Structure 1
């Protein structure tokens, strides 16, 4: 059996939050299977907390060089992924992406011929030009207010990337979409093997249950693939009796391993990447993880939220801090404030 603390330390190790990694930024993005990125600046904080000496310009270069991209994928949310991963995985997510858009706009999209719309969208986008959703809708001769059709096109039917400057450090700009194959100069792999996807997930998030993999990905139909590779996996039970799967040689640190303070961005997958998030966040605070709150980990668990306003980074504890915890939070908060602002005058305040 693995108790919650053991799972917590394994999660931190896999997510590069127990010790900052010396991996190159691109490799770190690949290791954690991408970072959720619908808020364009949040991945910079996620990487700062995970990669030793992270410099924002490094991620900018990767985006501009098209080695990492911003796409709709897991759970139909925008993720920052390596070019190789999105090309390898996108086909497997096609059905889920369609279903999720249809689930939101089913009434408005009734009677729409999805294949006909897809062919028309691919034809327009094949020129490699960057277009807003409105421009794409207009290029297809559709009504300008056809937002459901636009959402269906760019989030499901036509694989696209969100082109820079969207997602660059401190850059402002609306979403402009480019066909994925045109942007990367390669076609999407037609087949994604679930077994490979499961191994990648476990390396970044394990030990985990099948329900956790489904919650992270949004995909159905995973048990068959799990059964196909079960002999190469090790299994545990959590405190609820759920079966947890893992790679045999993946790190599972001693539960007493010290966990440093870490500041996480909004919608970080270290929390959202599970069905059962109790390994890292208390049940009463679970709603913070879907409300866009930025959180602070103390001893490996969500213990506070944080925000920045007028040059002050404010930490709002969810429980009482010890003196040592308060000092550690302030020290790490000061480093983050400097990273975010490049101004040594920035302050950190911990609300009582």
Structure 2
């Protein structure tokens, strides 16, 4: 009979895989290696990956990730769950190839898709490749040019379809710390290979399968169920993939009797391991990548962290579980971390969180002299 893993065992395993139980040395592990280990980072907000990496890498600076983007070693692209992810240049095309069937299925059910009902996807793909052949285009211009080639359809909706049908990367300064910028798209194979001249993205990954993606998911988020993997990827039919991979996996059960899979030979951490308080960044995949999130967040807290309009707030983590919210308020003369507690914190917990806030503000606002921490408790 398979071993049964309780909530703390799953929590400690997840934190260990996610590099959240102990931070790695940023001098030894850079942001590109980190995002590859994590199988990508959700990046709906431009600054979110910076805070996600700050929680995992000791000595990490915003410039390290900004340089990875401007040097084209990493890119922002639509991937799992149809959301913007930050991944290494090596991962853009292989990952996109695997999740493309999901994007092909859902794009016409979106608001933009309904606005262009009846359009030929192949025509959109061909037109987008043609107009982007000479280099990146702002979203508005991309839409206008597509509308010129496909009259009768709304330009912004066509641009949305194009980013779903093709691996279009968001060009910097979008996602660069302290800069941001409007949406500018480029063909991934051009931006990451031809123009950069690195060869990193030369393989079109036509032979990619879900198998490698499932193995990487388990390495970053396991032990996990088939439903968990499908929640993370939005792919369906993964049961067959897990069965095919079963000789390379080990099986457990959770307390509800669900079968959980993990990479064979992977040692699980001690469920009793102490976890120091830390601040989990906004949109962190540690919160988003399981059908059953109880290993990291209580059900009654989910609506406080996940808003109705798709925002995923930064979370206070105590003993490895969500215990509140945090938000940075960065102004020219003052920088503040605002804490919202879901329960009353002990004096020791408050002291530890004040230290985490001081570290975060040193990271995010090093030149701001006045720094504050504000607590709101029930």
Q: Which 5+ residue runs of structure 2 have no aligned equivalent?
A: 194-201
In structure 1, distance between residues paired with 2:206 and 2:304: 37
**Residue in 2 aligned with 1:208?**
224
Query: Is residue 335 from structure 1 mapped to residue 359 from structure 2 by the alignment?
Result: yes
d(CA) in 1 for partners of 2:161, 2:177? 28
Are 1:132 and 1:175, in contact at CA under 8 Å, matched by a contact in 2? yes
Once the two structures are superposed, the pairs formed by residues 1-352 of structure 1 within 5 Å of their partners are: 1-22=4-25, 23-105=29-111, 106-127=113-134, 129-140=135-146, 141=148, 142=151, 145-154=154-163, 156-185=164-193, 186-291=202-307, 292=311, 293-309=313-329, 310=331, 311-342=335-366, 343-352=368-377
Q: Measure the CA separation in 1 of the matches of 2:350 and 2:265.
A: 36
Query: How many angstroms does 1:228 deviate by?
Result: 0.8
Alpha-carbon contact 2:279-2:315 (below 8 Å) kept = yes
How far apart, CA to CA, are the structure 2 residues paired with 1:192 and 1:222?
Answer: 15
Displacement of 1:26: 1.1
Please give the root-mean-square deviation of Cα atoms over the aligned residues, in Å.
Answer: 1.5
Aligned residue for 1:308, secondary structure, equals: strand
**CA distance in 2: counterparts of 1:330 and 1:79, whole angstroms:** 30
* Distance in structure 1 (CA, Å) of the matches to 2:120 and 2:152: 16
CA distance in 2, matches of 1:135, 1:336: 38
Q: Quote how far apart the aligned CAs of 1:44 are.
A: 0.4
User: What SS class does the counterpart of residue 170 from structure 1 fall into?
Assistant: coil
Q: SS at the partner of 1:254?
A: coil
Deviations for 1:8-43, whole angstroms, at most 9, x for unmatched residues?
000000000000013222111100011100100110
Find the aligned partners of 2:365 and 2:325 in 1 and give their Cα distance: 19
When normalised by structure 2's length, the TM-score is 0.89
Q: Find the aligned partners of 1:233 and 1:93 in 2 and give their Cα distance.
A: 22
Would you say the 8 A contact 1:41–1:167 is kept in 2?
A: yes
TM-score by length of 1: 0.95
What's the CA shift string for 1:200-255, capped at 9, x where partnerless?
A: 00000000001111111111121111111101111111111111100123342101
CA shift at 1:187, angstroms?
4.8
Say which SS state the counterpart of residue 340 (structure 2) adopts. Answer: strand
DSSP 3-state at the match of 2:24: coil
Q: In structure 1, the residue corresponding to 2:370 is in which secondary structure?
A: coil
Q: Secondary structure at 2:115's aligned position in 1? A: coil
In 2, Cα distance between equivalents of 1:247 and 1:260: 27
Q: CA deviation at 1:287?
A: 2.2
C-alpha contact (below 8 Å) 1:163/1:177 kept by paired residues? yes
Structure 1 residues not aligned, in runs of 5+ = none
| Structure 1 residues 15 and 251: CA distance shift in structure 2, 3 A | farther
Instruction: Please give the alpha-carbon distance, in whole angstroms, between the structure 1 residues aligned to 2:266 and 2:73.
Output: 27
Native 8 Å contact 1:70 1:162 kept in 2: yes
1:189 is paired with a residue of what secondary structure?
Answer: coil
Does the 8 Å contact 2:357/2:373 carry over to 1? yes
Q: CA deviation at 1:145?
A: 4.3
Between the aligned partners of 1:143 and 1:344, the Cα distance in structure 2 is: 55
Q: What SS class does the counterpart of residue 234 from structure 1 fall into? A: strand
Number of residue pairs matched?
350
